[in-house]
Structure 1
C-alpha cells in the first residue's frame, strides 16, 4: 500500500501545482477547461509512468514485464549446438555436475552462442574442456594454462584480458590474444571458470559471458541439489519434482542462439529471464508461496515463450491486487499456463491469446484462478479421458456428472494435471476445485478454486 500512497500524493501535488499556476500565478487566470486539461494530462502521465506492483521484482536479475518478440529459428552451428542439447533430453549439460563430458558438451554448445574463437571450462585446478584454437596445449586433464583463469577463480570475479601479455598462457606460441573469464559458483563457493577467448585483441562481450556463467552456475546448483535429494525436506522434493520440460528449454536456447549474433542485448535479457525461471523453480521452500511470486514466475515463463512465438502468442492478465498477498501452492499455476501455450496456441497458424485471471472472494474465503485460451480446444473423448473416476456432483444438485461443455472436475489425467491434482488432494483434501472445460466455440478453460490462506 505504500506505493499507492506515494502515487496518490503525487496526484494531489500535481493538481495543487496546476491550481496555483493557472489560477494564482497567471494574470488573468486560465479558464476551467484549460486548467482541467493540463491537470488531466499531467495525472495520466504520472499514472502511466509509475512502476506497477504487478510488473514483478526489479533488479539486475529482473525478467518481468511483458516481453520482447523474437523469431524462432536456427543459425548455423548455433542451431546444431542447441539440437545436441535437445538430444541429451533431461541430461542438461552440467546438470550431472562439473565433469569433463558435461563440460565438453557445454563448451561445444556455447562457442557459437558467445561468438568466441575458443571456449574453456575448468574446475579450480584443471582444464575440463577446451574447444577452439589453442587446444593443442590447453589439454583436458592438465593444470590451468592461463594466469587469467587462475585469477578469476582466486578472486571470484570476472577477469577481462585485452592483450596477450596479460593472458599469462604458459605456451609461447599460443594464438589467443584476449579473453573474458568468469567464475562458476555454487552459492558463494567458486568451483571453476568459464573462459571465452579470442585470437584477436577485440574482447568478447563481457556481460553476455557473465550471464552465461550465472546460468551454468544454476545448472551446477541443480546438480548439487540432486545429490542432496535424499537429505532434502519433503517440501524441497516437491519443488524438485516439477521438472522443466526439455523441449521448452531447447526452444528457449534456440531462440537465444538465433539472437546472439543479431541482437546480443536481447539474447542477454533472455538469459536473465531463463536464469530467473530456473532459480524460482529450484529454490522454493515449503508447499506455499505468495501469489505475487507465482505470478512473477508465470510472467517470466510467458515472456520466454513470447520471445519464441512473437506476435502469435498474446497474453492478457486480469489480476485482483488483493490476490497478490494470498498464499497458493508453489509451481501450480505455471503448468496450467504451459498447457494453454503448448496444446492450445502452439499448433495454431494464427496463434492465439492466453488469459490469466485471479480473484479473491472474501465471503467464501476462496481464491479463484482461471487460465483460458482461444486455441484448438479439447475433443470430448480426450476430455473424458482426463477424468480417472467419476466427477463430483455439480453444485446445482442435479446429480448429473459434468460434461465437456459445463466443466469436468479434474482428479487425474495428463501428467501435469495429475501431479497438480495429487498435490492439491494432499494439501486440501476435498476443499479445492479444479475444473476444465472446452466451450463449443473453441479454446480451453481451466478453473481452480482454493481455500484462502
Structure 2
C-alpha cells in the first residue's frame, strides 16, 4: 500500500473532531514507532505525526509568516516532489522545486471551477487541467513555462466556511490517481486547521471586547463620583485632594492599560487600594476594609480586571444602597494547586434566583462586571472555573474564585503589568 493511499484513507476516516484526537495520538506514537506493527500502521502513524506538525503553522492563516513551515510538512505528508500554497493568485508558501507559474495556472483553474484539477507538464499557459482522479490533458514532455518545475501538478481547493481560502498544489512526476485523492483530503484537513485558527482569533477578539466592556463600565459611574469627591476637598483640604488625584491617576492608568490580558494579584491589589481610597473619600468611616493576603499568593497570575470589578460590585450594589455603609473583606490563600480569592461584603445582598438569572443572561444593566468576570474565567479555566457566589437578601454577598497557580502559557502576559 503506497503512502499516498494510506494518507487518503487515514485523513478520509479521521475527519472532524476525530482527527484532533488522532493527531494527539500521533505525536506520542511518532516518538517511538519501532514496535507499532505492520508497515501500513507505521505509515499511518508517520502521516499523523506530520499532520500534527503542520497544524501548528496553519492556525495563523495562509498569510502568516511561518506558513512556509507548514508547506514543508505537507510535502512530507503527500510524498510529493514539491508543494505550494496559493492564495489570491500568489504563491504564499512553497517547499521543493516548485514551478510557480504552473502552480498559479492550476490554482486559477481550481478557483474557476471550484474543484480539484490536474495540470500536465508542458501544458500551454491557460490550458486548464482536468478534474478527476489523475486523468489529465496530454501535454509535452518538458516542464511548464515559468520555472524549474517538478513534473505534473495536482491541486485542490481549501474551503473555509463556504469561501475559498486558498489552493493546495502538489507536484510529482507523474501525478497518479492516489495523489490526486490525497491532495483533496489534505486540502480539506488544511481548511479545518484554518477554521480552528479563526476560532482562536475570535476568542481573542472576544476577550479584548470583554475587557473594553469592563473599562466602559468602570468609567461613567466611578469616575464621576471620584472627581466629585476630589473637588469637595480642593478648598477644605488641598493635601487630601492631591493624594486623591494621585490615587485616581494610578487607578485609571492600571484600568486602561494595554499590556496583555493577564496581571499578577499584587498588581490588581494595588489598583484595588487606589479604588478603595477614592471610595473612602465618599463613605468616610462608613466603609471598613479588611485584607488577609497570604504573601505566597501575590505572584499568582490572574486575568486582568478580575478581582477589581468584584470589589466595585460589592461597594456599588452591596454597601452603597444601605445608609449605614458596611465592610468589605478581601482574602487570598494558597490552596495547593490553586490560589483562592474571596471578596465578601455585609451589605444588602440579593435574591439567589435573581443572581442565577443574572449570571445566565446577556442583558445589559447592573452587575455586568460580575457576569463578565464569570464568563472570562469559564472561558479560560473550563466550566468549573467560574465564580462561586453565596448571597441572600439582607445577608451580604461572598464571591469566590480559584485561579490555577501554574499557568505557563500566560506568564509572559504579565510583562509591563505595572506600567
How would you bin the TM-score normalised by the shorter chain? Answer: 0.3 to 0.5
Using structure 1 for the length normalisation, give the TM-score: 0.41
Using structure 2 for the length normalisation, give the TM-score: 0.44
Bigger radius of gyration among the two: 2
Indicate the structure with greater helix content: 2
